């Protein structure tokens, strides 16, 4: 069993929707052996397969929001927790994956507010900066050296 898992949900060519993938790529560059990192489209079956065997899982994805780059965190599992997740803070696919199970011991969801979802749109600077901060925060929480150079992760052209 891998103790920790990071899942970045997103799409490379739909603007801000790349946020979760950017976080996953930054973490994958320095993750220790007990951390698995997955990139996925968010399909429920992919999510369940990705967190299978993990003790703690962090899922990161972009969600529509009024102010790009605003970061929200919630913990939908284990239940019950005070201040859990509102269904509007979780994508439908993620809600379905949580219902399908099996679940890791702990699931934390981090969303980055986004506005650009059009095909071939570039990622907004606010979302790119937030993805960098989220990756650093996850790594700091796990006492893993952080990446200081944003260019250390390959970003697709036009992003």
Order across the sheet with 35-40: list the strands. Answer: 35-40, 4-9, 56-64, 106-114, 71-77
Which tops the pLDDT comparison, 71 or 85? 71
Class level of CATH domain 4-151: alpha beta
Write out pLDDT tens, residues 84-136: 566 557 888 998 998 888 889 989 999 999 998 888 888 999 999 999 999 99
Written as six digits, the tokens of 85 are 């997740």
pTM of the model: 0.84
Query: What is the domain partition of the chain in residue ranges?
Result: 4-151
């Amino acid at each position: 069993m891998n103790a920790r898992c990071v899942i970045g949900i997103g799409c490379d060519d739909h603007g801000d929707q790349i946020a979760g993938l950017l976080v996953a790529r930054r973490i994958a560059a320095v993750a220790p052996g007990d951390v698995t990192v997955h990139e996925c489209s968010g399909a429920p079956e992919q999510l369940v397969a990705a967190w299978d065997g993990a003790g703690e899982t962090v899922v990161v994805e972009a969600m529509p929001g009024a102010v790009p780059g605003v970061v929200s965190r919630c913990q939908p599992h284990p239940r019950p927790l005070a201040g859990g997740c509102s269904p509007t803070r979780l994508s439908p696919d993620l809600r379905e994956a949580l219902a399908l199970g099996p679940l890791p011991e702990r699931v934390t969801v981090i969303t980055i507010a986004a506005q650009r979802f059009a095909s071939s749109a570039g990622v907004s600077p606010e979302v790119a900066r937030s993805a960098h901060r989220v990756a650093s925060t996850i790594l700091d929480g796990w006492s893993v050296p952080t990446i200081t150079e944003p260019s250390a992760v390959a970003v697709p052209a036009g992003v």
